Amino acid sequence: MEKSSAPVLSPVLTGVFAGPIAGLKYQTPTLSGITTDDGEFQYREGEAITFLVGGVVLGAVEAAPRLNLTQLANRVAGKIDKLHDPSVTNLGRFIHSLDQDGNIETGVKVAPAVHELIGPVTINFSPPTMPMGQGGAVDFANDPTVRRILDTLNATPGVFTSKMPRTLCDAATTRNELRRNIRGIIKTTDVRIPLRDGSYVCADVFRPAAPGRYPIVMSKGFYGKSFYHDCICNETDAIRKEEMEDRYFSGNSDGAQYENHETVDTSVWVPEGYVCIRVDARGVCKSPGLQAPFSVQEAEDYYDAIEWAGTQPWSNGNVGLWGMSYLAMAQHNVASLQPSHLKAMIAQGTDADIYNEALYGGGIFGAGFWNWWWKIWSGNNHCGKRPETDWMARALATPFNDSAAYGPRGTIFMRPDLSKATAPVWIVGPQVGAIIHQLGSSETYIHSTASKARKFDFTDAWFPGSYSGKSIAE
């Protein structure tokens, strides 16, 4: 009689839990373990995999090379339009609250002791149906089991290393992170980019979660890099911005045109294989120093940011610039300094000769626009007292086109030497909707003769058109 042979097992594969989330327990029919610092787990093809914290079953799903929390909630099943389902919002809030350092942007790391401390309990992530509009998020925060778990973890040294005592993660914050997990985006806030004088500017970096080297799309601006615009100066600001972002991706009841004023939408560009970087100029929000719009120093800071981005481990060395209005105008200044990693520019609604095209058009100071722009539109771009230079007073005191004030090394505004701006450039001029940029867009194109390639378009709806699928594809 022949002996029966043991079944041949398929090869062991490695998957990644998006975030990444480290320290989760997992089980398949043939394998078990703890997700690594990189969120890795092992499985065999066709196996179901169950994830747990202590004795709390988070959910089960067919194993795959990349998984995220939204796939563990049966009613959601990874669908990005169902993140307001309490079952996934509450699951995410619970897991995000277990992160050791409390900064889920760097991933979630569950301390080993958490499993024993939680023990074999059951958590109802989907409370009983509540009246329309109330949902189950608030009710979950008062769940006695959840509160008891957090009390126990807060009382145990080493479980949390910061943000103590730990409370349940905000619902909007969780949903925004889950969206990035689904799209394969890693966000890092307030990255300090070093400058040549020893200072730094702060940037938000959005990059593909998959390992690799990617091209960069950078914007350096004056309005604040947080969601929509303005600053995050405290925890209240942070929650308010998270809620704005959540509403934007959940029906957009605020009617926002974009994620951040005059910069690319990261939710569109990063999944296409780009790293998107938003940089705050000196003196803006948390970037130290004095605000000096369109100055030589601002251009040199931009140069340093481009060269920094071109040498990061996730960069392929190719940096492109994209921006509208202010964030377009600043591009020509830095391009004239010829940073080696700058490869292309898209400037929409721009001016290079600011004195003639925007400040003193026809020899008359544009008081209405500039006073509004400084006091109202860019008036909330700082934390505390505005750290500004006296550029406005000096501009009013210098009504003539003085090259020392408005030339290539101007002490007030920099007028770039476009003969040195060699990067390919696509300029889009607005026909309507702006009191500046029409003349400047065409004149900048005409004088960008040193550019290796150049393109010019006029458009009516330059703001919505810039974010249209057609424009992005082109």
User: Per residue in 45-84, pLDDT tens?
Assistant: 999 999 999 999 999 999 999 999 999 999 999 999 999 9
Element (H, E) at 22: strand 21-22
* Residue 29 confidence (pLDDT) above 50: yes
Under the banding of pLDDT at 50, 70 and 90, the label for residue 263 is very high
* Residue 132 confidence (pLDDT) above 50: no
pLDDT at 412: 97
Q: Average pLDDT in the 264-282 region?
A: 98
- Token readout for 161 is 């290393």
Distance CA 32, CA 91 (A): 21
Would you say how long the chain is, in residues?
474
pLDDT at 362: 85
Q: Average pLDDT in the 219-240 region?
A: 96
Q: Which fold has domain 186-473?
A: Rossmann fold (3.40.50)
Give percent of the chain above pLDDT 70.
92
Q: Average pLDDT in the 323-328 region?
A: 96
For every residue of 248-261, DSSP letters joined together read HTTT-TT--SSSBT
Cα–Cα nearest to 333, from 285, 281, 289 = 281
Q: Average pLDDT in the 161-178 region?
A: 96
Under the banding of pLDDT at 50, 70 and 90, the label for residue 4 is low
Lowest mean pLDDT among 181-185, 332-336, 456-460: 456-460
User: How far, CA to CA in Å, does 60 sit from each of 23, 215, 469?
Assistant: 17, 36, 36
Cα angle vertex 443, ends 442, 445, to 5°?
65
- Token readout for 353 is 């000769």
* Residue 147 confidence (pLDDT) above 80: yes
Beta strand 40-44 pairing with 12-17: antiparallel
Cα–Cα nearest to 151, from 169, 170, 171, 166 = 166
Q: Give yes or no for a cis peptide into 165 (omega within 30° of 0).
A: yes
Check residues 343 and 142 and name the one with the higher pLDDT. 343
pLDDT at 467: 58
Give percent of the chain above pLDDT 90.
86
Average pLDDT of the chain to the nearest whole number: 93
User: How far, CA to CA in Å, does 339 sit from each of 87, 201, 273, 336?
Assistant: 49, 17, 23, 8
* Residue 474 confidence (pLDDT) above 80: no
Q: Average pLDDT in the 199-207 region?
A: 99
Distance CA 34, CA 209 (A): 20
Which residues of the chain does CATH 3.40.50.1820 include?
Answer: 186-473
| pTM of full prediction above 0.85 | yes
Other C-beta atoms lying within 10 Å of the C-beta of residue 472: 13
Residues in Cβ contact with 223 at an 8 Å cutoff, skipping those fewer than 6 apart: 229, 230, 261, 262, 284, 326, 377, 378, 381
* Residue 473 confidence (pLDDT) above 90: no
Residue 357 DSSP symbol = I
Distance CA 345, CA 319 (A): 9
- Token readout for 172 is 């909007």
Q: Average pLDDT in the 450-454 region?
A: 96
pLDDT at 54: 95
